[in-house]
Amino acid sequence: MTATRILVLNSGSSSVKYQLLDMRDNARLAVGLVERIGEETSRLKHTPLTGGGAESRELNGPIADHEAALKAVAEELAKDGLGLDSPELAAVGHRVVHGGLTFTKPTVIDDTVLAEIERLVPVAPLHNPANITGIKVAQALRPDLPQVAVFDTAFHTTMPESAARYAIDVQTADEHRIRRYGFHGTSHAYVSRETAKLLGKAPEEVNVIVLHLGNGASASAVKAGACVDTSMGLTPLEGLVMGTRSGDLDPAVIFHLARVAQMSVDEIDTLLNKKSGMVGLCGDNDMREITRRMGEGDEQARLAFDIYIHRLKKYIGAYSAVLGRVDAVAFTAGVGENAAAVREAAVAGLEELGLAVDADLNAVRGDEPRLISPEYARVAVAVVPTDEELEIATQTYALVNS
Ligand code: ADP
């Protein structure tokens, strides 16, 4: 029997998201999520997708750590005949947030690779430790199975130095590995490829601006299939206005908060990462709620929306300049795929750049990649649903079969 199944694990500090896929037809066999690991109120939600139905099962009650979480997931999978001991399981694909400059592509994990991911913890203190835990627990469960790391940063390693370096003292930057790494790379890679497909072209033939607008948000400029610039930097704080993150600001705001407002570094970190962006501007980070409030004439929600759109437009303009020629702008992730009002506003007034949105096409909802620009528009505007788990599974499967 050939092994064609891939388990995709996305381990966060207190959660594990997982999907089991069969790579013969990219079918999802099961999906699930363990939340609030380490608390009394942990929850495992497991949805088997074999056999037609999609009845979820929920386990509520304390799950002490990631090891207990993965064991519980393995038990749930086994109940559906999808156990991790199956010879059909080919590999586990792990989402790893930070691969630094070392990892430019998916990598089979051995002790050296794991040590390097650990060495990158100082530049990704919130993410890499959880990813490492997920890897170690999966290794312990199936020591014989290839474990593959798929890095959020890898797609951006093609950025030229002119885009990747901050204009600070080179020696200091190098000593502390300070540069722009970019994130959401699996999504930018997948969506830019799918956009080329939608245009009936090879990725090498097109230049695409990808706008990944979820709770976290980032833009990228993809030239002939390779990333040449992206809006997130050393950490996912830089760039667009996000659900709870500020995105770009004058770095002197930080000195000001420290000196004048007497805030500690940790307090400023929390302010900019968790209490800023849309939540800081209007108290809500869900675009559904923000647009609903705008409909009721809420001025605060309107201003937050306008700030969000203003930043987005600046990046579309900047990346049009970086790319020289733009073939498509692709909207993706929760906001990009669902919020027609955001897409319309982001493109409004950019006719000189060749951009326009057809109101009727923009209003259509769907799960498939689709064009929303009028036929006359020089640049295609597209909605392209992202699928990071499928991308991780595809890259993992390709690697173990190469
Ligand atoms: P992440 O993976 O970063 O947590 P997602 O890509 O799932 O985020 O996006 C989540 C966000 O998408 C929500 O916070 C909300 O703002 C937005 N969103 C989801 N559905 C809709 C919708 N129907 N209309 C507008 N915005 C939506």
Rounded to an integer, the average pLDDT of 194-211 is: 98
Domain endpoint, select from 126, 151, 176: 151
318 within a domain of the structure (yes/no): yes
**What's the Rg (C-alpha) of the chain?**
21
User: Which CATH number characterizes residue 380's domain?
Assistant: 3.30.420.40
259 within a domain of the structure (yes/no): yes
Residues 119 and 237 in one domain: no
Q: Report pLDDT digits (tens) over 243-255.
A: 999 999 999 999 9
Rounded to an integer, the average pLDDT of 256-263 is: 97
Cα distance between residue 243 and residue 280, in whole Å = 9
- Identify the domain containing residue 337 by its residue range: 201-388
172 within a domain of the structure (yes/no): no
**Residues in Cβ contact with 151 at an 8 Å cutoff, skipping those fewer than 6 apart:** 96, 97, 98, 99, 103, 106, 107, 185
Residue 216 CB–ligand 1 contact under 6 Å: yes
**Residue 397: which pLDDT band, with cuts at 50, 70 and 90?**
very high
Q: Which amino acid is at 337?
A: E
77 within a domain of the structure (yes/no): yes
Residues 236 and 312 in one domain: yes
Residue 277 CB–ligand 1 contact under 6 Å: no
Question: 152, 229, 284, 327: which is the annotated catalytic residue?
Answer: 152
pLDDT of residue 55: 87
Cα distance between residue 198 and residue 180, in whole Å = 30
Q: Report pLDDT digits (tens) over 70-127.
A: 999 999 999 988 989 999 999 999 999 999 999 999 999 999 999 999 999 988 887 8
**Residue 1: which pLDDT band, with cuts at 50, 70 and 90?**
low
106 within a domain of the structure (yes/no): yes
**Residues in Cβ contact with 172 at an 8 Å cutoff, skipping those fewer than 6 apart:** 178
pLDDT of residue 172: 98
366 within a domain of the structure (yes/no): yes
If one counts every other C-beta atom within 10 angstroms of the C-beta of residue 3, the result is 17
Cα distance between residue 61 and residue 173, in whole Å = 46
Q: Report pLDDT digits (tens) over 119-160.
A: 999 888 878 888 999 999 999 989 999 999 999 999 999 999
Cα distance between residue 166 and residue 402, in whole Å = 37
> Rounded to two decimals, what is the model's pTM?
0.94
299-323 and 287-295 are packed helices; what angle lies between their axes, rounded to 10 degrees? 120
Atom 20 of ligand 1: nearest residue by CA position = 334
Residues 117 and 230 in one domain: no
Task: Out of 273, 287, 386, give the residue to mutate to test ligand 1, the one with the largest number of ligand atoms within 8 Å of its CB.
Answer: 287
Domain endpoint, select from 116, 151, 186: 151
Burial readout 86-124 (b: 16 or more C-beta within 10 A, e: otherwise): eeebbbbbbbbbbbbebbeebbebeeebbebbeebeebb
Residues 206 and 292 in one domain: yes
Rounded to an integer, the average pLDDT of 6-35 is: 94
**Residue 51: which pLDDT band, with cuts at 50, 70 and 90?**
confident
pLDDT of residue 19: 97
Rounded to an integer, the average pLDDT of 199-226 is: 97
Ligand 1 centre to CA of 286 (Å) is 7
Residues 381 and 256 in one domain: yes
Residues 142 and 28 in one domain: yes
User: In terms of pLDDT, which residue wins out, 123 or 330?
Assistant: 330
Which of 300, 321, 320, 302 is CA-nearest to residue 310?
302
Residues 210 and 291 in one domain: yes
Domain endpoint, select from 151, 177, 209: 151
Residue 294 CB–ligand 1 contact under 6 Å: no
Q: Which of these ranges, 79-88, 342-351, 365-374, 376-385, has the smallest mean pLDDT?
A: 79-88
188 within a domain of the structure (yes/no): no
Cα distance between residue 27 and residue 394, in whole Å = 12
Q: Which two tokens stand for residue 329?
A: 């702008």
User: In terms of pLDDT, which residue wins out, 130 or 167?
Assistant: 167
Residues 214 and 143 in one domain: no
Active site (annotated) includes residue 152: yes
68 within a domain of the structure (yes/no): yes
pLDDT of residue 123: 82
Q: Report pLDDT digits (tens) over 260-307.
A: 999 999 999 999 999 999 999 999 999 999 999 999 999 999 999 999
Residues 205 and 301 in one domain: yes
Task: Out of 17, 211, 215, 279, give the residue to mutate to test ligand 1, the one with the largest number of ligand atoms within 8 Å of its CB.
Answer: 215
Residues 206 and 326 in one domain: yes
pLDDT of residue 127: 84
Atom 27 of ligand 1: nearest residue by CA position = 335
- Structurally, the chain folds into a number of domains equal to 2
